Amino acid sequence: MISLKTLNEKQKNAVKQMDGPIMIVAGAGSGKTRVLTYKVAYLIDNDVKPENILALTFTNKAANEMKDRIRELVGSKANSIWMGTFHSIFAKILRIESQHINYKSNFCIYDTEDSLSLVQNIISNFNMELEAITPNGIRHKISFFKNHMILADEFKRKHAKSFIDEKISEIFYEYQKRLIENNAMDFEDLLLKPIELFNNDNKIHQKYKKKFRYILVDEFQDTNKAQYELVKMLVNKDGNVCVVGDDAQSIYSWRGANIGNMLDFEKDFSKRKVFKLEQNYRSTKIILNAADSVIKYNKNQLIKTLWTENNDGEHLTLIKCSDEKDEAFQIAKYIKHEISKKKLSLKDIAILYRTNAQSRALEDIFRREKIPYKIIGGLEFYKRKEVKDIIAYLRILSNQKDEESLLRIMNFPQRGIGSTTIKRMISFARKHDITLYDTMARVFEVIDIKERIQKNVKAFRLLLEKYIDLKDKLSIGELSRALVDDLGVVKMFKEENTPESRARMENIIELLNSLSEFSASNKDAQLEQYLEDVSLMSEIDSYEESANVVTLLTVHSAKGLEFPIVFISGCEEDIFPLSNRFSSDATLEEERRLFYVAVTRAQQKIYITHARSRYRFGEVAYQSRSRFIDELEPSVIKEVNGSIGRKSHRKSKKEIYYEYFETVDYDDFDQDNKSVRPGSRVMHEKFGLGKVTQVIGSGDMLKATVVFEGNNVKQLMLKFAKLKILN
């Protein structure tokens, strides 16, 4: 039997309760992941077959970490658990049962950018001019209604109240039609299609109800209507469902999450048992007191009282700043102060903000002061244009019906196939009810296309046919490298020889490395699985805790993370809370829950900053501090006027820095005075420790050959490699 001695009594009780409906109300930092891990392991230890357990999470990162921990407790049995995000688990079921919903199993998954492209193409095909709403606004509206289980027909019947709504309903209907024609699903379809499948085919529905004897749901407060419906549909007659959540951390209503699901669970499962996890292991007493003093202003909540055996800790520091530049300066100043005083690492520090736009001033100061940082929620690797271009090629090799991917690469690299030619081919495809890919083979039948361009289209089709034929004969790594070499894009970017082209070249090389690593680590790796993983990857999945950099991120992105030191920046009315006097009480309560999440990310110390003025919408706006600051218990916070000390010196900012922080070891931040040379020992945030064997080139083209641990040899452009030089 596995040992539960590391759990407290309430955690043990929650783990041991195997049967029937269970709700675990888990406060921030109360060991929720530990309880879920042990609960799954406990089920397996009590003869429940792992393949009969369904565990649903909200990020791949959470699922992988939990599976690794379960593996430590029960060994290889953990590999058979159905554990993953809602979207990945139901994508798996849909691929198995695809023929029952008129899809092929190799369907592709459209991310928000793909969906937006489809909406734009539909608007263009319809020759619509909609000044009142943007294509992205339409895409967002379609996503919103699908998250609430409202499809095109119902939207038109019940929600189309204006001329614009009528046009949106036309686009909505065509959008769904095109998805089916492209053998594609968007994120919302991955939840709606299983509901459709189970409703239309009772045999399949019963198959999965029987299979999943025990269902566990993490972050239950973040489930939307479709997700909760799926959970209820799969719970069998024994009612063995366990949901874990914290209503105080429900912060995703804008994407359909329904805090009411936690309240409805009590009505839907009247025999449910409730366990409250209230002991916090993460934060100090003062931090918990601060969080509790704010969240108590919310009327709609499940009452719980967090407590901790940790020490009292430091007061929160409230810093009053003159503007956003001063705010960034003060944050940089206190970062260096914390590192000097507590001997912390950069990775121990996070700066949270309400909107991504707030990072600009911070980045400017951090670059100037040579403080290494990483942004979570910036332009993600797999969203970069050149990366998406290559992935579009791979998607066509997998699914030739994917018109959006084909349109993306039709003239990349340039092959003389212009927009007019593409429009004529699309028109031909619609007229003859065939795919755009099939039209390429019949391009000589399309009128008004010059012979030279017809040959270009035919050559492109032959290129794709070549690699479609090779897809099942080569490994994913070999296939992608051969394709990229054939396309000549690396050579093209290399010859362009600009900083931007070199960065794009490095991104493509990194993508090829990713494909090779996936192929090497998965014995029977399928291209479709790689493409699915990429499509369903969230920004937090790529977060590397080992990288020694300050982390900049929105509060939404910070959920589930923790840091010794947390800065909550931009705490002003209309920024945090991001609302005004016209906002509903529900909106304000969600903003307050978001502030609660920000506070409870901190383990040791919190800094809160606000500015008297900042640039907003191109003009200087005078700000009033956030109401959440005034809701904090006065005894937990100490206020400083950050700009006073700065303005009292007629010196440059740089001079004031050195005066305040003479003890800081600036070598931790400034690598400019060190040079890479053969024999240098270096640290790379991904590849680890290494030794430089060769340095060639000069200026921006300086390149080093480095042998990393495990005899892993890499050639790196020093401008982009961000090596830390150890000697």
**Do the Cβ atoms of 32 and 283 come closer than 8 Å?**
no
**Do the Cβ atoms of 623 and 615 come closer than 8 Å?**
no
Active site residue 589: no
Q: Which of 287, 277, 338, 342 is nearest to 310 (CA)?
A: 287
Give the mean model confidence (pLDDT) for residues 333-346: 92
Whether residue 704 is predicted with pLDDT greater than 90 in this model: the reply is: no
SS3 57: strand
The more confidently predicted of residues 383 and 648 is 383
Q: Given the residues 10, 32, 139, 401, select the one marked as catalytic.
A: 32
CA end-to-end distance (rounded Å), the chain: 50
- Residue 7 pLDDT grade (very low, low, confident, very high; cuts 50, 70, 90): very high
- Neighbouring residues of 101: CB distance < 8 A, sequence distance ≥ 6: 94, 193, 196, 197
Range of weakest confidence among 377-381, 601-605, 659-663? 659-663
> Rounded to an integer, what is the distance from CA 377 to the centroid of its chain?
7
Q: Given the residues 11, 227, 249, 330, select the one marked as catalytic.
A: 249
DSSP letter at 723 equals P
Q: Given the residues 97, 114, 186, 218, select the one marked as catalytic.
A: 218
- Residue 660 pLDDT grade (very low, low, confident, very high; cuts 50, 70, 90): very low
Other Cβ atoms within 10 Å of 715 Cβ, number: 12
Would you call the peptide bond into 413 cis, given omega within 30 degrees of 0 as the criterion? Answer: yes
The DSSP H or E segment spanning 24 is strand 22-26
- Residue 21 pLDDT grade (very low, low, confident, very high; cuts 50, 70, 90): very high
Global pTM?
A: 0.81
pLDDT, position 655: 36
Q: Given the residues 174, 186, 189, 219, select the one marked as catalytic.
A: 219
**Do the Cβ atoms of 46 and 38 come closer than 8 Å?**
no
CA distances from 338 to 159, 324, 659, 672 (A): 54, 21, 16, 23
Read off the pLDDT of residues 260-274 as tens digits, 9 standing for 90 and up.
Answer: 898 889 889 988 999
- Neighbouring residues of 28: CB distance < 8 A, sequence distance ≥ 6: 246, 248, 249, 280, 282, 283, 291, 306, 596, 597, 600
Q: Which of 7, 199, 204, 177 is nearest to 96 (CA)?
A: 204
Q: Given the residues 193, 408, 504, 601, select the one marked as catalytic.
A: 601
Tell me the sheet residues that pair with 242. Answer: 22, 216
β-pair type (602-611, 563-568):
parallel
DSSP letter at 111 equals -
Range of weakest confidence among 5-19, 391-405, 505-519? 505-519
- Residue 667 pLDDT grade (very low, low, confident, very high; cuts 50, 70, 90): very low
SS3 36: helix
Read off the pLDDT of residues 158-198 as tens digits, 9 standing for 90 and up.
Answer: 998 888 899 999 999 999 999 999 999 999 999 999 999 99
**Residue ranges in 410-521 assigned as alpha helix (H):** 419-432, 436-441, 451-470, 476-487, 489-496, 499-521
To 5 degrees, how large is the angle CA 649–CA 654–CA 659?
A: 60
pLDDT, position 700: 67
Whether residue 564 is predicted with pLDDT greater than 90 in this model: the reply is: yes
- Neighbouring residues of 62: CB distance < 8 A, sequence distance ≥ 6: 33, 218, 219, 560
SS3 23: strand
**Do the Cβ atoms of 164 and 171 come closer than 8 Å?**
no
Tell me which residue has tokens 């092929």: 104
Range of weakest confidence among 288-297, 349-358, 612-621? 612-621
Whether residue 329 is predicted with pLDDT greater than 60 in this model: the reply is: yes
Active site residue 408: no
Beta-strand runs (E) in 548-654: 550-554, 563-568, 602-611, 613-616, 619-622, 637-641
**Do the Cβ atoms of 407 and 394 come closer than 8 Å?**
no
Q: Which of 165, 110, 175 is nearest to 133 (CA)?
A: 165
Plot region of 588 (φ>0 → left; ψ -120 to 50 → alpha; else → beta): alpha
- The whole-angstrom separation of Cα 236 and Cα 27 is 28
pLDDT, position 663: 30
Give the mean model confidence (pLDDT) for residues 407-420: 92
Range of weakest confidence among 26-40, 212-226, 487-501, 627-641? 487-501
What's the count of helices (H) and strands (E) in the chain, helices before strands?
A: 30, 22
Strands, sheet with 373-376, edge to edge from the N-terminal-most edge strand: 373-376, 550-554, 349-353, 563-568, 602-611, 316-321, 637-641
Q: Given the residues 12, 17, 33, 529, select the one marked as catalytic.
A: 33
Read off the pLDDT of residues 306-319 as tens digits, 9 standing for 90 and up.
Answer: 999 999 999 999 99
SS3 681: strand
- The whole-angstrom separation of Cα 668 and Cα 213 is 53
**Do the Cβ atoms of 289 and 256 come closer than 8 Å?**
no
Active site residue 601: yes
- The whole-angstrom separation of Cα 673 and Cα 256 is 51
**Do the Cβ atoms of 326 and 611 come closer than 8 Å?**
yes
Active site residue 32: yes
pLDDT, position 546: 72
